[in-house]
Structure 1
Amino acid sequence: MSGQGAPTPQPIDCHDLRVGVVAASWHEEVMAGLLAGAKRACSEHQVEDPVLARVPGTFELPVVASAMAQRGFDAIIALGVVIRGGTPHFDYVCGSATEGLTRVALDHTVAVGFGVLTCDDEQQALDRAGLEGSREDKGYEAAAAALSTAMTLRRVRARFKTGLFT
């Protein structure tokens, strides 16, 4: 089962982080769950007003995430869902979104929470969406990971400024 061995994150104070959420629009019910989980994680981490940007689909997540990174956001939470169909479209979209979001994180040295569900069927997506009856809450997990990583990046940058890293 997916999720086994996952850490149990403890919310930390991230009130002064600039946080963006970029979310796809396909699969409304699943996306509603992912967004609710991300918003709950932000709230528990004391992020009061994350900026939300909606895009048509998962393929479009990286370009808006990149724009947010260029505007100085400390953490970006990318949410989407791609359900396997009968064509290679699934592989292209999943690969492009993954590579694009990875590039955003590395090119801009910004925390990117990967909340993109890549599922074989709709039930798998519903099971991971954080809805009532879901086994997992990937929206929450992606947000918590992005926030924790952003705080780690902040500490690393501070250490470089003080000369403690060479």
Structure 2
Amino acid sequence: MSGAGAPRVTTDGTGLRVAVIAASWHTQIMDGLLGGAERALEAAGVTDVTIVRVPGSFELPVAAARAAQQGFDAVVALGVVIRGGTPHFEYVCSAATMGLTDVAVRTGVPIGFGVLTCDNEVQAFERAGLPGSREDKGAEAAEAAVATAVALRAL
């Protein structure tokens, strides 16, 4: 399984302001990712959370950029892209990944990357943090964003 060896990150995020930007495609999977992110943020002590929904994963970077401009300490980006029979998968995955990376590096605001890029729905459900899922990528993305925001405060 791809999550083998993943660290469990526990960080006190008290006082952080976090934006969760979530795509809308694949509702059940997205609900799992969003639920995982919310649980992780609550466990980290983050109480100032704003959730914004965008149409799809392609729109995540522009929303993350706006959140970074608005003074959020961290952003959690959640989406699902499932391979189909056209090159659309590669374009959207590349645009989301490169766009979110650019926002993080350009603004200095950490972005937890919770965009599932899967070959099929079974793989996405396995990572969605739903009952029976093997992984919770929404929670992992939130934990990474909080841990990085706390680490950056030390620099």
Q: Distance in 1 between matches of 2:59 and 2:87?
A: 18
Please identify runs of 4+ aligned residues in structure 1 that moved more than 3 A: none
The TM-score normalised by the length of structure 1 is 0.92
Which stretch shows the higher mean deviation, 41-50 or 77-86?
41-50
Q: Distance in 1 between matches of 2:145 and 2:7?
A: 14
Q: Distance in 2 between matches of 1:87 and 1:52?
A: 31
Pairing 1:78–2:77 present:
yes
Pairing 1:37–2:36 present:
yes
1:61-140 paired onto structure 2 within 5 Å = 61-140=60-139
Higher RCO (Cα < 8 Å, 6 or more apart):
2
The TM-score normalised by the length of structure 2 is 0.98
Report the residue type matching 1:100 in the other structure: G
TM superposition shift of 1:49:
3.3
TM superposition shift of 1:118:
0.2
TM superposition shift of 1:56:
0.2
Q: Distance in 2 between matches of 1:62 and 1:47?
A: 22
Report the residue type matching 1:5 in the other structure: G
In structure 2, the gaps of 5 or more residues are none
Give yes or no for contact 2:21–2:77 (8 Å, CA) kept in 1: yes
In structure 1, the gaps of 5 or more residues are 157-166
Instruction: Name 1:146's counterpart in structure 2.
Output: 145
TM superposition shift of 1:48:
1.5
